[in-house]
A and B are shown apart, each in its own frame.
Chain A
Amino acid sequence: MSAIAVTARPQTPLWRRLLGFNVLTGIVLAVGGYILGHFIGDHIHGSNLNYYSAQAGQNDIAIFLGYLLGVVGFLVGLGFANYPLRRMLGHPPTLAEKESEAHGTLRYFSLSTDHKVVAMQYLVGIGFFFFVGGLNAMLIRTELLQPNTHVFGANQYLTLVGMHGTMMMGMMTSSILGPFANWLLPLMLGTRRMAFPRVEALTFWLLMAAGVVLITTVFWGGFQTGWTGYQPLGGQGTAGFDAYIGFFILVGISMCFLGFNLLATAITMRGPGMTWSRLPIFIWGVLTTAILMLLASPMLAAALMMAAMDRTVQTTFFDPGYGGSSYLWQNLFWVFGHPEVYIVALPGFGIVLELLPVFTRKPLWGYRIAVAGMLGVAFLSWFVWQHHLFMSGINADLRPFYMLSTELISIPTGFIFLAAMGTLWRGRIRFTIPMWFCIAWAFNFLIGGISGVFLSDVPSDVLTHGSFFSMAHFHYTIMGGLVFTFFAAIYYWVPRMTGFKFNELLSKIHFWSLFIAFNATFGPLFAVGWLGQPRRVVTYPAFLQGLNIWVSISAYVLGLSMLVFLVNVVWSQLFKREPAEANPWHSKSIEFQLPTPVPVHDFDRLPAFDPDPYPYGEPVQVPAYAGGGGPAIASGGGEA
């Protein structure tokens, strides 16, 4: 990656460079802030304010204030307060493009507003928490080797389940938009930055703070609600549930601003010629996701605020004895939660449809219908949430409507498949690692989608609802849909981002072991659920042990496959670096026409866009990205 400035800097000792606004200062101030918050909380905590927690002897107000001031301290330490304070003094607004306190490697550990640096931060940060979440899954499967508790107790088991689900649903939501949209969107639109670069950095650091907050739940005894945090069960929880609330509020803010920033950038800062109908399909996937993120996560934040107030100042939103309702949480959570599911799926659609033309050497088939599909999914995802409540007894006479809306959403999803299938037809299909991941996406998402029929149709949902069947279903759509496309994007774009290629053999081992282990793990879980094992139980009937052992062993293979990936990354990106070709995939997209490494300022001149977003196929066309007064791209561009 390129350094920030051309001018040579005098070498200062490391300790001097570590002083200043960076993650180290952030951590110190975070700890200080937490202690201060806890101290204040202890003092304002009256004896009448411990309704839920009187017996536990805990003080939720102190915990929440600790988290709040801890996060504030963290952000201040990173330097996020500097600009707002300058603005309070009336200093003129600056755009802060590529602004960073630090230089060189230290940039990655401090507030940086270079979209390429933020993208790398996201990739590594989310990757870390992805492995934490994955490790939880391994431990869950270890516990389920036997039909009764043997390794962990019930509480530890539920905490693992909750942390796995919460970590994955909270963190992995941004796993494509964080790294890849931040890196690619400005380039693909022909600008050098996001609309609000500081907000872009903020979304990343909030997410990291959130991850740490969630992990602290183990110090308070964990939480027993799973990622859905159902009330009033959550209200009973120890302070571990405060960590859940803190995590999801931070994630909600991060997601909301991530979507906000991406949307503002795409609406305003499209280069000349980049009309809406010429946006790369990946950008459409990003934008539809961004709309959902922008609008759905505030509802989550509001629901969590209510839960936090129930736990601290004794409101009774979810307490049926005092006029509250358990349905209220379920509704608010799933009005957020179902768009969330498509927040996770839509970027994957975008990546698959973006990559298929490259590896079939054909233009995207049915661009408009693919865009319509994404918009349709985004729109319909607001009208399906009560299918999570089919058995709950609420609005039973509306179930046919939710059945219809849920089934209808498979029509726009079908458009994505249609576009993918049309692109394959009579193509010149090249089997690269990213292409394999796209093919695997199609297979997994097909199974995920079809198994959804059994959950969306009420008569069969009676059997499958809340069982391992539904768990297998959403792992097929989320892990099979998001994680596989996440890896497709990694193998496709990361060599471009870092300048180093991956080890081919390890990549192949990773793909095939992942694909096989994934299906061996989650395929049998359909049967496990069908045979009567509910989700999130620590015990199960003895006759299901054979299947469960099979699933656990497959899950270990899946975990090993992820380790292969980790080795691949460490080996090929840190130790045995081999420079990647500028354009190994013969892509005609603009990000592959830039020099390696991509200059800090991306373009010398802002590019103007060719009328054709997918110039593949006969006759061979060379994309032209010309800015006013000369070529936009400094060097290394223009291959056919």
Chain B
Amino acid sequence: MKEVNHFRRFLLWYLATTIPLTLIVVLVLAPGMPPGNGTVQASAVVADNTVFLGVASVIFMAVLVYFVYSLIAFRERNPSVVTEGPAIRGHPQIQLWWIVVTMGIVLFLTAYGTIRLLEGGSGGGQGPNPIAVPSPPAGTKPLQVQVIAQQWQFTYRYPAYGGVETPSIEIPTNTLVEFHVTSLDVIHSFWAYQLNVKADANPGVDNIAYAQTKGPLFFNVRCSELCGLWHGYMFNSGRVVPRAQFASWIALQQRQFGAARRSLPPYTRQYFPTPLRRG
């Protein structure tokens, strides 16, 4: 009888704290969290994080309130005397329910993650043969941009524009951008924060990630895999601009870097860092 009482009180504490907290998290805090709504992928991660934060607050509060309640309710009121508690050694039904509930949560999180991942790749690097390819906005073609990482800078090649290689990146609005991330030396990682794109750059590997732009946007690019001495300085920024502006920008790049392009190797998906066929 006493036990029922404790459990009911715990439950009341739990519901009283968790329901408002979860509502605040899900409805107020999470939707406004970074990285914002600049691209479809960024919006997706904000939505996913809202779901996860909701689940997290429900679980977190359950354990936290349980601990706080137990520590208060079951504290030894007279520590100078050693009294023994009840010799309870387990409860098969509680254990069974615990397994069922945690299994349910786990399967939900995995299923949710898998579905969301397969919908549009979530902006993560998918290797040379992507399985989750988002469909481009009606009437547009995907734009390929190759991201070439090397110690310690990113450059970008636009195969659709003669393979021009630029030190900065601009992409048009309302376009599906297909990033081909590769490296010339060590492992880097291309993290375009506001686009919510992250793909490791491995030497000799073509790692594909997608971002579907919406309106104009400024975004930061950072290397997020330790790549040596100046890793901390390996960042630049880019812009999502309207199509007309993009066209004039890329034309400018072609004029500016056209001469340099002739001395570059031909466009390829994989570059190897060292000369072939050593002795």
Q: Is residue A400 contacting chain B, with contact meaning CB distance below 8 A?
A: yes
In angstroms, how far is the closest chain B Cβ from the Cβ of A5? 38
B112 nearest CB neighbor, chain A only: A457
Query: Closest chain B residue to A539 by CB distance?
Result: B232
A20 CB–B CB distance under 8 Å:
no
For A321, the chain B residues whose CB sits under 8 A away are: 203-204, 272-276, 278
A458: Cβ under 8 A from any B Cβ: yes
Given contacts A396-B125, A443-B64, A530-B34, contact A232 B203 (CB under 8 A): yes
Given A421-B67, A462-B41, A535-B224, A369:B52 Cβ within 8 A: no
B111-129 with Cβ < 8 A to chain A = 112-114, 116-118, 122-129
Contact A450–B56 (Cβ < 8 Å): yes
Is A631 part of the contact surface with B, judged by Cβ < 8 Å? no
Whether B110 lies near A424 (C-beta < 8 A) is no
CB neighbours (8 Å) of B99 from chain A are 411
Contact, CB under 8 Å: B222 / A532 = yes
Minimum CB–CB distance from A369 to chain B (whole Å) comes to 5
Q: How far is the CB of A622 from chain B (nearest CB, A)?
A: 12
User: How many residues of A are counted as interface, with CB atoms below 8 angstroms from the partner's CB atoms?
Assistant: 99
Which partner residue on chain B sits nearest A454 by CB separation? B52
Contacts of A428 in B (CB 8 A): 74, 76, 83-85
Which of A158, A320, A389, A410 interacts with B106 by CB under 8 Å? A410
The answer to whether B228 touches A586 (Cβ under 8 A) is no
Cβ-defined partner of A457 (8 Å) among B48, B59, B191: B48
Which residue of the partner chain, among A392, A447, A461, A617, contacts B88 with CB atoms under 8 Å? A617
Question: Is A422 an interface residue, CB under 8 A from the partner?
Answer: yes
Stretch at the interface among A95-103, A463-471, A506-514: A463-471
A313 within 8 Å of B (CB atoms): no
Partner of A532, one of B70, B113, B193: B193
State the CA gap A368–B44 with chains docked (Å): 42
A395 within 8 Å of B (CB atoms): yes
Contact B131 A396 (CB under 8 A): yes
- Please tell me if the beta carbons of A403 and B113 are within 8 angstroms of each other in the complex: yes
The answer to whether A404 touches B110 (Cβ under 8 A) is: yes
Query: CA A536 – CA B228 in complex, angstroms?
Result: 10
Say yes or no: A418 contacts B95, CB within 8 Å.
yes
Known: A321-B274, A534-B224. Is A427-B95 also a contact (CB below 8 A)? no
Known: A224-B226, A224-B228, A393-B207. A618 touches B86 (CB 8 A): yes
Write out the residue numbers on chain A whose beta carbons fall within 8 Å of the beta carbon of B125: 391-393, 396
The answer on a CB contact under 8 Å between B70 and A154 is: no
B60 and A230 contacting across the interface, CB-CB below 8 Å: no
CB under 8 Å from chain A, chain B span 55-102 = 55-56, 59-60, 63-64, 66-67, 70-71, 74-76, 79, 82-91, 94-95, 98-99, 102
Q: Which of B90, B124, B220 contacts A366 (CB 8 A)?
A: B90
Q: A319 in the interface, Cβ–Cβ < 8 Å?
A: yes
Given contacts A233-B186, A411-B106, A462-B122, A361 and B85 within 8 Å (CB-CB): yes
Q: B227 touching A233 by the CB < 8 A rule?
A: yes
Beta-carbon contacts under 8 Å, A439-457 to B: 439, 442-443, 446-447, 450-451, 453-454, 456-457
B residues less than 8 Å from A149 (CB atoms) = 232
A427 CA to B222 CA, complexed, in Å: 52
Is A367 at the interface (CB under 8 A from chain B)?
Answer: yes
Q: Is the beta-carbon distance between A361 and B228 smaller than 8 angstroms?
A: no
| A450-B75 contact given A367-B90, A457-B48, CB 8 Å threshold | no
**B205 at the A interface (CB under 8 A):** yes
> How far is the CB of B140 from the nearest CB of chain A, in Å?
23
Sample 13 A-B pairs with CB under 8 A, ordered by A number.
Answer: A158-B229, A228-B226, A230-B187, A233-B226, A236-B185, A392-B187, A393-B200, A407-B110, A422-B91, A456-B109, A460-B45, A535-B226, A620-B84
